[in-house]
Homo-oligomer: A and B are copies of this chain.
Amino acid sequence: MSLTTENIKIISFDVKDIRFPTSLEAHGSDAMHTDPDYSCAYVTIKLKTGLEGHGLTFTCGRGTEIVVAACKSLSDLIVGQVVSDIYKDFGGFWRSLTSESQLRWVGPEKGVIHLATAAIINALWDLWGKLLNKPVWQLLADLEPEQLVSTIDFRYLSNVITKEEAVELLRRGRVGKEERMNQLLALGYPAYTTQAGWLGYSDETIYDLANKYMEQGFNAFKVKVGKNLFQDIKRLELIRNTIGWDRILMVDANQIWEVQEAIDWMKQLSHFKILWIEEPTSPDDVLGHAEIAKALKPLGIGVATGEMCCNRVLFKQFLQANALEYCQIDSARIGGVNEILSVYLMCKKLGVKVCPHAGGVGLCEMVQHLQMWDYVALSGTMDGRFIEYVDQQHDQFVNPTIVENACYMAPRTPGYSTTLKPEAISAYENIP
């Protein structure tokens, strides 16, 4: 870290409730979330020098005000801190937020308080990137293994991975790093789209959108299922007739089923050549997912989950129990970058592919950094992996995601790509 960051204090903390009225057009509708207004709690952390870090957590409209309240409650732990002290022991600082002796009761490490933690931690990574003049994926890739590991709280993980093992994985991950970085900068990272398959869309819309995304080069499509078996079959027939049988198709039930119901329903859809079934049941049900994964494996269908997985301890168990084949980390559900790194490390150790959840507000902007770091400095491969892509709300950001030829292009600007345009804030801030 540059010496100029020494002794610089955080002098202010601000959080805003930003809501985009997406429910008006059924964008983002699924079996559980019928009318989401894509929203976020948007945190600004300001240094004495005037430099600002921005972080956010995605929400669905109502409820954002609760996350905002939680951010405010945590802000006392942020303002007045010397920023270089945070980065010197980022793992320790992360624990001071998540284990605050009174606040932890209302989590611990889950739900509203953890969503708020994510927004704050994400802002601190954006700030760090800006201080070092690097996009976060590169900042991560350039950290020494010991430094990177020092940002992680390994509490409750030691029966699956230790700090020492993590350092070793990162050391090995560095081999060939420069070459991969060049390839990434030239070609980007593959994306798939969910855009053609929202539950609220008409057949015509689905057909048109699938064609539009094929023309843009997309070869992998995800479709929402789970409300009505007959309609699911119709929708999948339509999609397969449109995209053909060589392109990749995934389905997403958004937690609608019981365990056995998921198995039975998916058996009826298996002839559509489905790569994964996403969120077949409760996001908390590790053993249920394991049962489903076991039953669907012979049909060639993998289980994917993670966007609502509440923390690293749940992820650990999903991995231990062979309950998922595709690990869908989310950038703002668990406690920000630091905790997500621990999930990537466990996935690397146990040989599970990470395919991040994105969409919403700012999720694409953030997860691209994480997945690119993984490619450059940890797993070293894109094989069988892609990042979800939804073409919404990007124009609200100062440095939006750039997708070309169905690939996320590596961000070049410093930070975590999380800064909203001032005009987006003034147009969409929800003031009660």
Contact = CB atoms under 8 A, between A and B. Distances in A.
Interface of A: 32-37, 58-67, 69-70, 73, 99-115, 155-156, 158-159, 255, 258-261, 281-288, 291, 308, 310-311, 313-314, 316-317, 320-321
Nearest to A158: B258
Given A66-B73, A69-B66, A281-B156, A107 B103 contact: no
Nearest to A33: B101
B102 A106 contact: no
A104 B111 CA distance: 10
Contact of A158 (B62, B99, B255, B260): B260
Contacts of A285: 156, 313, 316-317
Nearest to A23: B102
A100 B62 contact: yes
A111 B107 contact: yes
Given A282-B156, A286-B317, A105 B33 contact: yes
Nearest to A62: B102
Contacts of A104: 32-33, 60
Contacts of A156: 258-259, 281-282, 285, 288
10 smallest CB-CB distances across A and B, nearest first, come from A111-B111, A112-B112, A62-B102, A69-B69, A61-B102, A60-B105, A63-B106, A156-B282, A284-B313, A159-B259
A63 B105 contact: yes
Contact of A59 (B70, B105, B287, B320): B105
11 contacts: A59-B106, A60-B105, A62-B103, A63-B102, A66-B66, A66-B73, A111-B310, A282-B313, A284-B314, A285-B316, A310-B310
B106 A159 contact: no
Given A62-B73, A102-B60, A286 B288 contact: no
Contact of A101 (B36, B70, B112): B36
Most buried by B among A35, A73, A110: A110
B102 A111 contact: no
Contacts of A102: 33, 35-37, 59-63
A85 to B, nearest CB: 22
Given A111-B310, A284-B310, A284-B311, 18 more contacts: A32-B104, A36-B102, A36-B105, A59-B102, A60-B101, A60-B102, A62-B100, A63-B73, A63-B102, A63-B105, A63-B113, A66-B112, A110-B111, A111-B114, A112-B113, A155-B282, A156-B258, A286-B287
A291 to B, nearest CB: 7
Contact of A70 (B37, B66, B103, B114): B66
A283 B64 CA distance: 26
Contacts of A67: 106
A61 B100 CA distance: 11
Contacts of A110: 110-111, 284, 310
B101 A35 contact: yes
Given A258-B156, A259-B158, A281-B156, A287 B320 contact: yes
Contact of A287 (B35, B281, B317): B317
B308 A108 contact: yes
Contact of A159 (B103, B258, B310): B258
Contacts of A109: 284
A37 to B, nearest CB: 7
Contacts of A66: 66, 69-70, 73, 106, 112-113
A33 B370 CA distance: 33
A103 B287 contact: no
A32 to B, nearest CB: 7
A288 B286 CA distance: 13
Most buried by B among A63, A258, A261, A291: A63
